[in-house]
């Protein structure tokens, strides 16, 4: 089973001019020191004895969190969707980890490579971090069965609606999936969230989705309110 890609929030080894926005975040540095991080993470069961499982909001990237730029990895085009900053601040304050879960078939289609994608994600993490929002991790699937690059043109367990990236994130970050949420604008997001045992919210009320989500919201601010209200009740 191929592994999903993961941004580890490390500064690029090659120091390039103009790459200052990609500095690692404080929590990323702390996590790097934690034992067991370099190898396959221990199971959630093993961790459960030591500390209570956390909760997360898994977030689709394009069309949910930032404007979909159609296979672009140019940081200059990074733009949050309306309500994203406010919504994510509310969720963070309520103790949710924010974890990005994104299909990036542009890799398999030969539109950009994984290094460029990771650099874009590093910039995205820094951009949100500078505005007070800590993105705990970014998981991406570079695969696509009909892609043009043979090494990525495979059926995998991580491309949404498969739940592979959420399950991996739950292991890596000791998360309780039943207390966690998946928020996205497409059927594949809702399908992945349901398959992982999370509650789901579809962004964009006009989306003609076929996979029923638990809730619908216009944007992340409304999604955050739904999550906080549901958790309190």
Edge-first strand listing for the sheet containing 56-59: 5-7, 135-141, 97-103, 56-59, 181-184, 199-203, 215-217
Q: At what angle do helices 187-196 and 164-173 cross, to 10 degrees?
A: 50
Would you say 119 or 158 has its CB closer to Zn ion?
158
CB of 157 to Zn ion, least distance (A): 7
Tell me: does residue 47 bind Zn ion (CB under 5 A): no
CB of 4 to Zn ion, least distance (A): 6
Tell me: does residue 222 bind Mg ion (CB under 5 A): no
Note if 60 is an active site residue: yes
Residues 128-157: x where in contact with Zn ion by CB under 5 A, - otherwise, as a string: -------------x-x------------x-
Residues paired with residue 222 on neighbouring β-strands, in sequence order = none
Residue 135's nearest CA partner among 27, 10, 45, 14 is 27
Tell me: does residue 172 bind Mg ion (CB under 5 A): no
Tell me: does residue 60 bind Mg ion (CB under 5 A): yes
How far apart (Å, rounded) are the C-alpha atoms in residues 122 and 138? 9
CB of 222 to Zn ion, least distance (A): 30
**C-alpha of 71 from chain center:** 17
Q: Which stretch binds Mg ion (CB under 5 A): 56-64, 70-78, 173-181, 224-232?
A: 56-64
Residue 159's nearest CA partner among 198, 99, 102, 212 is 102
In eight-state DSSP terms, residue 196 is H
Tell me: does residue 192 bind Zn ion (CB under 5 A): no
User: Which parts of this chain interact with Zn ion (CB under 5 A)?
Assistant: 141, 143, 156, 158-159
The catalytic residues are 60, 62
């Amino acid at each position: 089973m191929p592994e999903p890609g993961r941004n580890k929030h490390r500064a690029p080894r090659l120091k390039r001019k103009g790459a200052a926005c990609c500095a690692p975040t404080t929590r990323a540095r702390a996590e790097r020191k934690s034992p067991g991080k370099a190898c396959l993470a221990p199971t959630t069961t093993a961790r459960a004895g030591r500390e209570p499982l956390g909760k997360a909001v898994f977030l689709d990237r394009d069309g949910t969190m930032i404007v979909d730029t159609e296979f672009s990895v140019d940081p200059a085009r990074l733009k949050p969707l309306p309500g994203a900053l406010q919504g994510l601040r509310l969720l963070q304050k309520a103790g949710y980890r924010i974890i990005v879960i994104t299909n990036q078939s542009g890799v398999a289609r030969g539109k950009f490579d994984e290094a460029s994608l990771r650099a874009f994600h590093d910039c995205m993490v820094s951009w949100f971090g500078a505005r007070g929002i800590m993105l705990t991790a970014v998981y991406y699937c570079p695969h696509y069965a009909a892609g043009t690059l043979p090494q990525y043109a495979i059926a995998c367990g991580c491309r949404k609606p498969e739940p592979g990236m959420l399950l991996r994130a739950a292991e890596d970050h000791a998360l309780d999936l039943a207390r966690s949420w998946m928020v996205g604008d497409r059927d594949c997001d809702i399908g992945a969230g349901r398959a992982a045992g999370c509650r789901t919210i579809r962004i964009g009320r006009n989306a003609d989705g076929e996979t029923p989500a638990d809730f619908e919201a216009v944007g992340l601010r409304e999604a955050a309110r739904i999550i906080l209200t549901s958790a309190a009740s």
